[in-house]
Amino acid sequence: MMKAILIAAATILQAYLLGSVDTGILVSKFVYHDDVRNHGSGAAGMTNMLRTFGKKAAAMTATGDVLKGVLAVCIGRWLFHMLPADTGVSPYLGVYLAAIFAVLGHLYPLYFGFKGGKGVLVAAGAILAIQPVLLPFLAIIFLVCLIPTGMVSLGSVAMAALYPVLTIIYGSLQGYAAGDMLVCAIGSGFMSGMVIYMHRANIQRIREGKEYRFGKHNKK
C-alpha cells in the first residue's frame, strides 16, 4: 500500500511540474520579449498566442503543450508499471492522474504565478498518450463547431463535453473491466470539467454574442 501511495504521489508531482512549464509564456518571454498574458484573453494558450504574435508562435506553443501532456502520461504509466500485479490498482489510474495534474499545472503553473492557459492542448496530448483512437473524433467535433462559427472556444468546449462520452463508448466496445471503466469515466470527466470551467468566460460571451470569431467581424 505504501509503495502505491508513493508512486501515485510521484505521478502527481511530475505531472504538475511538467504541466507548469508553460510553453506559451516561455515563447512569449524569450522569443518575443513580452508576456502573452498581458494581451487578448489573458490566457497563455495557442489561440491567444496566434492572435497576439502570429502562426509561428502558435505552432511552437501547440507543440510544447501537446508534448508535455504526452510526456506526463507516459511517465505516469511507467511509474504505475512498477506496482506488483496483485495490487489490484487499475492501470488507467496512473495515466489519468498524470493527465489531470498535467492540465492543472498548465492552468495554474507553479513557475508563473499560477496563471496559465486553458488546458486544451495539454489534454489533447494526454489523450494522444492514453487513447489516440479518440483524437480524430474529437477533431471532427472541433471542426464542426469551428468552421461555421469561427469560434475556437466553442469547439474546445464541445470537445471537452463529449470526451467522457467517447471514452465510455470506447471502453464499452473494448470490454473494459468495471474498475477500469470507472477510473476512465471519472478521469475523463475531471479533464472535461477543468477545460469547460476554464472557458466559463468564453461561454458567457458566446451567450451574449460577443465571443471572438476568427475571420469574422465581432459585435461590439
89 burial type by CB count under 10 A (0-12 exposed, 13-18 middle, 19+ buried): middle
What does the pLDDT look like over 132-155, one tens digit per residue? 999 999 999 999 999 999 999 999
- State what percent of residues in the chain have pLDDT above 70: 97
Flag whether pLDDT at 218 surpasses 60: no
Flag whether pLDDT at 220 surpasses 50: no
- The residue-averaged pLDDT of 183-207 equals 95
DSSP string, 137-205: HHHHHHHHHHHHH--HHHHHHHHHHHHHHHHHHHHHHHT--HHHHHHHHHHHHHHHHHHHHHTHHHHHH
The pLDDT score that the predictor gives to residue 89 is 86
C-alpha–C-alpha distance, residues 80 and 98, integer Å: 11
Closest CA to 69 of 16, 112, 117: 16
Of the listed ranges 92-96, 147-151, 209-213, the least confidently predicted one is 209-213
- The residue-averaged pLDDT of 147-164 equals 95
- Greater model confidence, 1 or 210: 210
Q: DSSP class of residue 43?
A: -
**How many other CB atoms sit within 10 Å of the CB of residue 111?**
13
Q: What does the mean pLDDT of the chain come to?
A: 92
Flag whether pLDDT at 115 surpasses 80: yes
Flag whether pLDDT at 25 surpasses 80: yes
Answer for the pair 202, 145: CB distance below 8 angstroms, yes or no. no
Name the 3-class secondary structure at 79.
Answer: helix
- The residue-averaged pLDDT of 176-193 equals 96
The pLDDT score that the predictor gives to residue 219 is 47
Flag whether pLDDT at 217 surpasses 80: no
- When pLDDT is cut at 50, 70 and 90, the band that residue 216 belongs to is low
What does the pLDDT look like over 62-85, one tens digit per residue? 999 999 999 999 999 999 999 887
Helices (H), 20-130: 23-30, 46-53, 55-80, 91-107, 120-130
